Amino acid sequence: HEADSHRTDLMTITRYVLNEQSRHPESRGDFTILLSHIVLGCKFVCTAVNKAGLAKLIGLAGETNVQGEEQKKLDVLSNEVFIKALVSSGRTCILVSEEDEEATIVEPSKRGRYCVVFDPLDGSSNIDCGVSIGTIFGIYMVKDGGEPTLDNVLQPGKNMLAAGYCMYGSSCTLVLSTGTGVNGFTLDPSLGEFILTHPNIKIPKKGKIYSVNEGNTKNWDAPTAKYVEKCKFPKDGSSPKSLRYIGSMVADVHRTLLYGGIFLYPADKKSPNGKLRVLYEVFPMSFLMEQAGGQAFTGKQRALDLVPKNIHERSPIFLGSYDDVEEIKALYAAEEK
C-alpha cells in the first residue's frame, strides 16, 4: 500500500515546520506560530488575487465594490492583511514592508522575537494582464532584547533564519527555506492546506536561460553587457541561451530555481543601485538560491554579505545556477583589475 500511504500521508506546510521545530528542542514553537500566520496571509492574498480579475470582469470592482466601499488596491489590501496577521501572531517586534515608508514597531503587549521583512504583492502592476505575482518574505531573530530598533532589520541577509515567496499564478505555490534546503508547497483549495509538492529543490548547476530586461541595454555597465553578449554569441561554440523575462520577480526567480539559468537586475546609469530592494526582494531570493545550491552576487560581493544602511535600499542582483553566476563574477573581477 505504499502508493496509498503516500496519498493519505499528507505533508502539509504546518506539519513540515513542526518536524523542523522538533530539530530545535529548545524551541517554544514560536517560529511555527509565526509561519502559520504568514501562511494565513498568503491564503488570503491568493483568494483576493484570484477574485480581483473576476471582480473587474463583472464590474464589481470598478471604483467601488458591491458594498459601495472604495475598492482597495490589491497591494494595499495585501499589506494590511500581512501586517495584521503578523502583529496578531504575537511573535514579531519589527515589520518592514515595501508598502510602508516607515518600519512597524509592534506594540509591547504583542511583541515577540522575530523581525519580518516582506513585499506583500510584488509585481502587482501585472495583475490586470493575469501575469503571476507574489509575496516575498524574510525572517530575522531580533538581535537584543531591548527596545526594538531598526538595526534589528539592518542585518546582512546571511543572518536570516528563513525566507520564502508565495507565487499567485496558475496555482498558488509557496517556496520556503528555514536554512536546511528549499521546499515547495502547493495550495490545495479544497483542503485550504499547502501540500509538499517540490521536496528538497536543487537548482541545476548550469542553465540555458538568461532573464533580464534587455530594454535597459544602453544603460548597462561593461561586465553585464559582455555577459549578455556571451549568452547570445557564445565563444565556445555552444548554442546561445534562451531569453525568458516575465517582469515579475517571483515568476522569473521561480522558473530560474526549477529550470536553472540566471536572473539579472543590473545597475545601470539611471539607477546605479539597480531597482530591486535589498531586504525584501534581493535577500530572500538570494537566501533561497544559496540553499538550493545556486548563488547570488551584487556585482561587487556575495549578496547575503551586504549590510543594508536603510530599510528600502536597492542593490543590483545576479542570481541563479552556480556556474552561470560564476561567469558574471569573473567578468566583474576582470573589470576590477
Residue with Cβ nearer ligand P6P (62 or 247): 247
Task: Give the Å distances, CA to CA, from 106 to 150, 190, 234, 297.
Answer: 12, 34, 52, 33
Task: Give the Å distances, CA to CA, from 321 to 65, 158, 292.
Answer: 45, 19, 9
Q: Is 231 in the site for ligand P6P (CB under 6 A)?
A: no
Applying CB under 6 A, the span of 33-41, 106-114, 117-125, 228-236 interacting with ligand P6P comes to 117-125
Helix axes 74-88, 30-57, angle to 10 degrees: 160
Interface pick for ligand P6P out of 64, 125, 180, 217 (rule CB under 6 A): 125
Residue with Cβ nearer ligand P6P (281 or 290): 281
Residue with Cβ nearer ligand P6P (75 or 324): 75
Q: Is 122 in the site for ligand P6P (CB under 6 A)?
A: yes
Interface pick for ligand P6P out of 61, 121, 249, 289 (rule CB under 6 A): 249
DSSP-based three-state secondary structure for 108 = helix
For 253, list phi and psi in degrees, rounded to 5: -70, -40
Residue with Cβ nearer ligand P6P (189 or 247): 247
Residue with Cβ nearer ligand P6P (172 or 249): 249
How do strand 242-243 and strand 262-265 relate by DSSP bridges?
unpaired
Q: Is 272 in the site for ligand P6P (CB under 6 A)?
A: no
Applying CB under 6 A, the span of 152-160, 226-234, 248-256, 300-308 interacting with ligand P6P comes to 248-256
Applying CB under 6 A, the span of 6-14, 22-30, 143-151, 245-253 interacting with ligand P6P comes to 245-253
Q: Is 78 in the site for ligand P6P (CB under 6 A)?
A: no
Q: Is 247 in the site for ligand P6P (CB under 6 A)?
A: yes
Q: Tell the residue number behind the cell numbers 470592482, with chain if given.
A: 61
Q: What does DSSP assign to residue 293?
A: T
Q: What does DSSP assign to residue 129?
A: G
Interface pick for ligand P6P out of 213, 242, 301, 310 (rule CB under 6 A): 213
Q: Is 321 in the site for ligand P6P (CB under 6 A)?
A: no
Applying CB under 6 A, the span of 81-89, 141-149, 150-158, 243-251 interacting with ligand P6P comes to 243-251
The cell for 106 is: 509592534
Residue with Cβ nearer ligand P6P (140 or 280): 280
Q: Is 199 in the site for ligand P6P (CB under 6 A)?
A: no
Q: What is the 3-state secondary structure (H, E, C) of 214-255?
A: HHHHHHCCHHHHHHHHHHHCCCCCCCCCEECCCCCHHHHHHH
Listed in sequence order, the residues at least 6 apart from 333 whose beta carbon sits closer than 8 Å to its beta carbon are: none
Q: Is 230 in the site for ligand P6P (CB under 6 A)?
A: no
What are 119's strand-pairing partners?
136
Query: Shortest Cβ distance from residue 118 to ligand P6P (Å)?
Result: 14
Query: Shortest Cβ distance from residue 215 to ligand P6P (Å)?
Result: 7
Query: Shortest Cβ distance from residue 249 to ligand P6P (Å)?
Result: 3
Task: Give the Å distances, CA to CA, from 184 to 118, 155, 187, 308.
Answer: 18, 26, 10, 28
Q: Is 217 in the site for ligand P6P (CB under 6 A)?
A: no
What helix, strand, coil percent values describe the chain, rounded to 5? 40, 25, 40
| Strand ranges for 159-306 from DSSP E | 162-168, 172-177, 183-188, 193-198, 209-211, 242-243, 262-265, 295-297
Interface ranges with ligand P6P (CB under 6 A): 122-123, 125, 213, 247-249, 252, 275
